[in-house]
Each structure stands twice: as C-alpha cells, then as structure tokens.
C-alpha cells in the first residue's frame, strides 16, 4: 500500500512538472512573438534610415555640392542590439527548463555593429563618371586666396566648392557652423608627428593625416597609432608628383591613388577614402579620376607657409595667423614637419575653443 501511494505521488509530481513546463512554454512563446514583431518594426526603420543615408551621400548636381547626412545606420544597429538582447534573454530562460532552442533563429547582433572599435576605416560607393578622357585636364593650382566674406570665409573656397562639389571635392564645409577640421600632410617624418599625436590626444581632438607611400612604409608604428587613436588616415598619393596628378595619364593617376590604398589595406587592414592632391594641383579630369576610385577629394580653406623646415614661422605670429583666419566650416591644412605647428597646436586648440569653435573630424 505504501509503495502504491509513493507511486501515485510521483506520478502527480511528474504531471505537475509537465503542466508547469507547458505553461512556461506558452508564456515564453507569447514573449517571442511580441519580440519578433518589434524586431520587424526595428528592421524596417533601420532599412528606411539606411536608404536616407545613401541618398544623402549622393551629390546634388543641381547645387554642385555634397551633403553630409548623419549616419542613420548607427541607430538601427543599436536597436537591433536591443532586440537581440531580449531574444537572448528568452533563450536563456528556455535553457533553464531544458527546452532546446534553435540558435540559427537568433539574430547575429555582432554583425550589426560594423564598427565596434570606433575605427575610421570605411569605403565609399561614389556615382561613377564616364568618359574621363573627354574631361578638361588643365592643371589648376589651388590656394584659398585673401578675399573673405562677412563670415571670414574665403570666396575662392566657396566658389570652388560650388563648382567642383559634384566631383566629391571639398574646399570648405560652408554650412557646418563654427566647426574646424584639422588635417595634416605627411610627406615624410621630421620627428614631430609623435608630439602632434600627443597633443591631439590630450585635447581630445581627432584629425586627418594625409600620408604618402614613403611615409607609410618608413613609419608603420605611426600609421598604426593614428588608426588606434581614432584619427583618419588619408591618401596623399604614392609618389607625390611635383607637377601634380594632371601631369600623368589616367592610368598613372589611378595608380597614384590605388597603389597606396592597397598597401594600407594589406598592411593595416584599413580602408582609406579621403585624398589630398600633391601640391594642391588638380584638374577636372583628376577630380573625376579620384571620384571613380571611391574617394572624396579634400582641399583646404586655410594654409600658410609652414613646410620649409629651414625657415619656420615665428610661433607667436603663426598662432595669431591661425586664429585670425578662423571661419565656419574651415578645413585647416598644417604640415606635420613643422616644429612651429607642433609647438602652437595645443594653444591653437584652446584659443579656438574659447572663441566658440568646435574641432570635428572630417568625413
């Protein structure tokens, strides 16, 4: 009799366990259905956001300008992570009652975070320009000039931005408010770059470093440091031809861009997408060549004679010049071989911020 009672008690316990598990399954199934609906909405929003970003990157040829739209993919990735976390919580709960789950149905949350380290490496997909040979290849020598508007912006930079913006060329960022974009040209190393990087790190400022093939091959540790510290590595050509890209054939121009691009990609796993013309010499054809290499061309709206290492400008006078030329959307070109630039960089950042300017990484 006692054994019969124990047997019946065990049977009741098993039935109770089965019913409890079934109730949990029904409840969790309802949760999964709700999460699936939410995830579908989030994915749709993310898709719509991505479409808007792609349209924002396309050149508005009617205005001859390029528009920098905020990156909508970051928001959709964050939303995807939230949905993924909820799904993972349900899966963990199911595991606790020994119910198997199909891991193939779980969203890959890591794939949605395309840039977990904050790297500035990415690629562009520019609209391609056909019949390059028919475009004007007359060499133009860029310089921002001295004529300024009421905002202290160079008229020449504004004019060229309007004229050549359709080629993804950037001379100034005219409607960006009180922002300054720091860029450094690195033809060769003169012992200043580590100190420049130290100052930028101390001031929490990111910059673009346009490097040549010679610089990259001779200073791999500096390239890696630039990448690791969140700066942009830009392309300043393989050979830095003194007569500029327009002095070369279309194929040679492409090799100047892609030769260095491929070297950096193969040795550092980094995709460059910004190009600066050697000596500031360009043509309509060369702008189209660089565009078709899926690059943006970055010129400047401020530069001064700072590259002669044997005749460096006075630090006080140089700092005054940098401050007096501040203007909204300024793209500053500084040569990293300059001991003067290295000395005054920190003070320039401090004084520009005190004047109401913000330093932003060009992209």
Q: Which one has a higher pLDDT value, 33 or 314?
A: 314
pLDDT tens digits along 87-117: 344 344 433 334 333 333 333 333 233 334 4
pLDDT of 23 reads 58
Lowest mean pLDDT among 2-6, 127-131, 165-169, 316-320: 2-6
pLDDT of 337 reads 98
Catalytic residue among 185, 240, 261, 306: 185
Instruction: Examine the residue annotation and report whether 314 is marked as an active-site residue of this protein.
Output: no
Catalytic residue among 231, 261, 327, 335: 335
pLDDT tens digits along 268-278: 999 999 999 99
Instruction: Examine the residue annotation and report whether 236 is marked as an active-site residue of this protein.
Output: no
pLDDT of 15 reads 55
pLDDT of 317 reads 98
pLDDT tens digits along 230-268: 999 999 999 999 999 999 999 999 999 999 999 999 999
- What is the arithmetic mean of pLDDT over 330-355? 98
**pLDDT band at residue 75 under the 50/70/90 scheme:** very low
- Whether the pLDDT of residue 52 is over 50: the answer is no
Are 231 and 207 within 8 A, CB to CB? yes
Count the residues in the chain: 363
- Whether the pLDDT of residue 217 is over 60: the answer is yes
Q: What percent of the chain has pLDDT over 70?
A: 67
- Whether the pLDDT of residue 64 is over 80: the answer is no
- Whether the pLDDT of residue 313 is over 90: the answer is yes
- What is the arithmetic mean of pLDDT over 37-57? 39
CATH among 3.90.1570.10, 3.20.20.370, 1.10.10.10, 1.10.150.450 for 132-359: 3.20.20.370
């Amino acid at each position: 009799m006692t054994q019969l009672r124990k047997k019946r008690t065990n049977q009741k316990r098993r039935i109770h366990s089965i019913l409890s598990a079934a109730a949990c399954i029904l409840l969790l199934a309802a949760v999964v259905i709700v999460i699936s609906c939410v995830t579908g909405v989030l994915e749709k929003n993310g898709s719509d956001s991505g479409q808007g970003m792609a349209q924002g990157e396309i050149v508005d040829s009617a205005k001859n300008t390029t528009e920098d739209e905020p990156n909508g993919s970051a928001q959709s990735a964050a939303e995807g992570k939230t949905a993924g976390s909820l799904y993972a919580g349900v899966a963990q709960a199911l595991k606790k009652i020994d119910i198997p789950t199909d891991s193939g149905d779980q969203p890959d949350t890591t794939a949605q975070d395309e840039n977990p380290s904050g790297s500035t490496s990415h690629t562009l997909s520019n609209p391609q320009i056909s019949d390059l040979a028919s475009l004007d290849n007359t060499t133009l020598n860029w310089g921002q000039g001295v004529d300024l508007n009421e905002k202290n912006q160079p008229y020449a930079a504004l004019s060229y931005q309007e004229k050549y913006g359709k080629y993804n060329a950037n001379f100034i960022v005219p409607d960006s408010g009180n922002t300054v974009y720091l860029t450094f040209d690195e033809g060769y190393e003169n012992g200043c770059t580590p100190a420049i990087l130290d100052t930028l790190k101390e001031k929490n400022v990111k910059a673009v470093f346009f490097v040549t093939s010679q610089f990259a091959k001779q200073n791999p540790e500096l390239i890696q440091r630039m990448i690791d510290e969140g700066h942009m590595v830009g392309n300043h050509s393989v050979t830095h031809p003194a007569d500029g890209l327009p002095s070369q054939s279309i194929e040679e121009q492409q090799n100047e861009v892609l030769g260095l691009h491929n070297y950096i990609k193969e040795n550092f796993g980094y995709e460059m997408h910004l190009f600066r013309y050697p000596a500031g010499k360009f043509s309509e054809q060369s702008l189209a060549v660089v565009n078709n290499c899926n690059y943006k061309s970055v010129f400047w709206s401020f530069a001064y004679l700072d590259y002669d290492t044997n005749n460096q400008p006075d630090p006080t006078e140089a700092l005054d010049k940098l401050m007096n030329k501040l203007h909204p959307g300024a793209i500053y070109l500084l040569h990293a071989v300059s001991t003067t630039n290295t000395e005054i960089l920190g003070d320039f950042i401090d004084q520009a911020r005190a004047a109401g300017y913000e330093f932003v990484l060009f992209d």
